[in-house]
Structure 1
Amino acid sequence: MYSQHKIKEIFSEKFVPFVEIYSEKGDLIGVSDINGNISLELENKIYNSKATNLAFVNSSYITSELSIDTYKNSPIISLNRISIELDEVVIMNPKTYKYLKLKGYFRSLQINEDRPHYFIDGIVEFYIFTKSDKIKMRILSNRSFENKSIKQISRTNYFMVAGVPMFDEFTSFKNINNQYNLKTGNSLKTTILEKETDLEKGTIAILDNNSSLQLEIISSLKPKIIKLFEMETHYNNYTINAIYENNDAQKIDLENIIYYKEIRSYDVKRKQKDKFQKVEATHEFYLLEKEYLNELKSKQFDNFYSFKRPSIFEDKYWEKVDNKYFQPLPKLIEKYIEENSKLIEKSKLSSH
């Protein structure tokens, strides 16, 4: 069942899927569905959060911030698409190289019980083996913030997923086509359907000569339950959003990716009698440079989804992100992190 609120693209009849809704405290209240609908459950969460301001976030659209009163009186929330100027495309033959190197800016936010707990951003390099698609990763610089007023599950049991994401297998058309049914209505949109139920799970859309993938892999309707090391985790939501620098849905892969985002949601507890703790996380990657290599210059690599300590940086790299789709964090979230989190000790930049 849905509330009367829908999220629409300004100046068109197109509804915007998977829009994240944040409060001024920085917490992720929820995400709209694939058709831009805000469910009654999400509507209740918005009002129960007692938020005074809301931020609406989607990578392809300019972030919009509204007061709760404006939201109440606006059945249609309109977002303005980011305007993209097309660059010249350089065609390369990756088959002659062993590795594809993607260098970019990453950021990751982990929210525990509706409050930002960990935030990390930095410059990272991915090394993708062209024959096997195996991936290694190296963090070149990072800022790491922690809100120490928020407690973990226990002194010995930590649930931490803030860090650099590993690209999901479904960032490539080949894997999407193997796992899902695809329905092409026209040359500009392909609908992704679950094989067993034919339920709509996402879309691949062509716009401004780029391909945009939005896919809900795990939903609260069918959560994944994991019991491991005396912990029980209910994996309630896993959604990915990726943008590729090509206009052919069948050719989307890591060679063409320019932006990637994950949204994850969990309920976690340590023992049977314990209460579940809600954990949500977002991970983003913005491509800055792409290069093909035959040799790896480094033998030391970092772990994915790992909160790196200490902070290591020299220049303000976060102010120099040269990517068409980059937007700063919503001001509501940025302000909360600044006021409630502490930068973990800074060290001079060192080579890996």
Structure 2
Amino acid sequence: MKKHLFLILFTLIFTSIYSQHKIKEAFSEKTIPFVEIYSENGNLIGLSDTNGNISSDLENKIYSSKTKSLTFVNSTYKTTEINIETFKNTPIISLNRIVTELEEVVIKAKPKTYKYLKLKGYFRSIQINEDRPHYFIDGIVEYYISLKSDKIKMKIICYRSFENKSISQLSKNFYFMVAGVPIFNHFTKYKNLTNEYNLKPENNENILVFDKKENIEKGKITKSNSNSNLQLEIISKTNPKIMKLFGMESDFNNYTINTIYNNDDPAKMNFENIIYFKEIRSYDIKRQKKNEFQKVEATHEFFLLEKEYTDEIKSKEFDSPYTFKRPSDFENNYWENVDNEYFQSIPKSLEKYIKENLILIEK
């Protein structure tokens, strides 16, 4: 009798944490971690967990948002949009994997004894404040990475900047802005990853990533199409990073990265093999004397276009990461010609919101 009561209690607890929804790869039993879920208004409602589950808390947020449609986004799968009624009646959400051709990015010099690795690519970043897109910036950027120290310098070549002027910052004197060009996280290198995490092979295609201290699953390495894909939750709501500075308090409660490499050997996950990088950040911020927090979310992406080894850096001036530059500075429609196999347009709902509510900051 006690055993049956325990099983019933365990089931109730489990179902209270997880909804009946799970996200999987189409025609497969593979679950998809860290899938972004957007509403019809373009706001990021939340992410699936490391096993592709949609938590009951996230499901409640979806229903309370009163959105009529949902868009599911993951870098290695085709962006998928469904209406809310379909979501209610479909426990398994299926996404189609992006099928890529086996071709490499053109390298302009062979790696011998060069000083720097130069990565040129398209970047885009959006910041969402209180469920409304506030800033959007995209452009072409060049990274110069020291092959000796791994130190990174970056130069933005051209860019567009958009702002939603109907959204207010914390005050006239307190700004919280993280939209801009990302810097590659040091865990994108295999050596650094294995210093902090344990890697446990699940099968021939997947390697699970566990936190060494608490032995909690934090991500996954997937091998497919001769590429490797690292998806990793570095900061979570269960272990947020609290920062207090200059009269502001920031609760950094989600930091997830998604990196794709043009090599299926995890040991070769490094800056030289990166072809795509994305990070998702989530904060709750407030002025310390205020009681209410403001939710801020941001995504940053980089799509590799060219890779080159060089002994010199032509640029003398460099830009800072996560900086929203203004006014816009561009001459051609670079965003229409992003030659990267993993490039997809932003969700239509987000694109529509930007077009209707954000203004291009011009000279």
* Short-chain TM bin: over 0.9
1:248 counterpart = 2:248: no
Look up the equivalent residue of 1:116 and give its one-letter code. Answer: P
Alignment match, 2:54: 38
- CA distance in structure 1 between the aligned counterparts of 2:344 and 2:72, rounded to whole angstroms: 13
1:8-87 map, 5 Å: 8-87=24-103
CA RMSD of aligned residues (A): 1.2
Alignment match, 1:350: none
Q: CA shift at 1:95, angstroms? A: 4.5
Instruction: Provide, for residues 293-352 of structure 1, a one-character-per-residue CA deviation record: whole Å limited to 9, x for no partner.
Output: 101111111110000001011111000000000000111100000000000014xxxxxx
Alignment match, 2:301: 284
Give SS of 2:195's match: helix
Confirm or deny: 8 A CA contact 1:146 1:343 kept in the other structure. Answer: yes
Instruction: Provide, for residues 139-161 of structure 1, a one-character-per-residue CA deviation record: whole Å limited to 9, x for no partner.
Output: 00100000000000110000000
- CA distance in structure 1 between the aligned counterparts of 2:251 and 2:275, rounded to whole angstroms: 31
- CA distance in structure 1 between the aligned counterparts of 2:140 and 2:235, rounded to whole angstroms: 29
Alignment match, 2:345: 328
- CA distance in structure 2 between the aligned counterparts of 1:52 and 1:130, rounded to whole angstroms: 49
- CA distance in structure 2 between the aligned counterparts of 1:184 and 1:94, rounded to whole angstroms: 31
Instruction: Provide, for residues 174-193 of structure 1, a one-character-per-residue CA deviation record: whole Å limited to 9, x for no partner.
Output: 00000111112344322110
1:145-164 map, 5 Å: 145-164=162-181
Q: CA shift at 1:93, angstroms? A: 5.2
- CA distance in structure 2 between the aligned counterparts of 1:217 and 1:61, rounded to whole angstroms: 22
- CA distance in structure 2 between the aligned counterparts of 1:31 and 1:272, rounded to whole angstroms: 31
1:66-145 map, 5 Å: 66-87=82-103, 94-145=111-162
1:179 counterpart = 2:196: yes
Give SS of 2:355's match: helix
- CA distance in structure 2 between the aligned counterparts of 1:69 and 1:302, rounded to whole angstroms: 46
Name whichever of 180-189 and 304-313 sits farther off. 180-189
Alignment match, 1:265: 282
Look up the equivalent residue of 2:76 and give its one-letter code. Answer: S
Q: CA shift at 1:273, angstroms? A: 2.9
Look up the equivalent residue of 1:21 and give its one-letter code. Answer: I
1:216 counterpart = 2:233: yes
- CA distance in structure 2 between the aligned counterparts of 1:100 and 1:141, rounded to whole angstroms: 20
Q: CA shift at 1:232, angstroms? A: 0.5
Q: CA shift at 1:274, angstroms? A: 3.0
Give SS of 1:312's match: coil
- CA distance in structure 1 between the aligned counterparts of 2:189 and 2:262, rounded to whole angstroms: 13
Alignment match, 1:6: 22
- CA distance in structure 2 between the aligned counterparts of 1:252 and 1:153, rounded to whole angstroms: 40
- Equivalent residue for 1:202, pick from 219, 224, 229: 219
Look up the equivalent residue of 2:171 and give its one-letter code. Answer: S
Question: Kindly tell me: are residues 182 and 227 of structure 1, through their superposed partners in 2, closer, same or farther at Cα, counting changes over 3 Å?
Answer: same
Alignment match, 2:334: 317
Give SS of 1:275's match: coil
- CA distance in structure 2 between the aligned counterparts of 1:89 and 1:141, rounded to whole angstroms: 21
Q: CA shift at 1:224, angstroms? A: 0.8
Look up the equivalent residue of 1:310 and give its one-letter code. Answer: P
Q: CA shift at 1:74, angstroms? A: 0.9
What percentage of aligned pairs have identical amino acids?
Answer: 68
Residue ranges of structure 2 left out of the alignment (5+ in a row): 1-16
Confirm or deny: 8 A CA contact 2:228 2:264 kept in the other structure. Answer: yes
Which of the two has higher C-alpha Rg?
Answer: 2
Q: CA shift at 1:89, angstroms? A: 7.6
Look up the equivalent residue of 1:111 and give its one-letter code. Answer: I
- What TM-score results when the alignment is normalised by the length of structure 2? 0.93
Residue ranges of structure 1 left out of the alignment (5+ in a row): 347-352
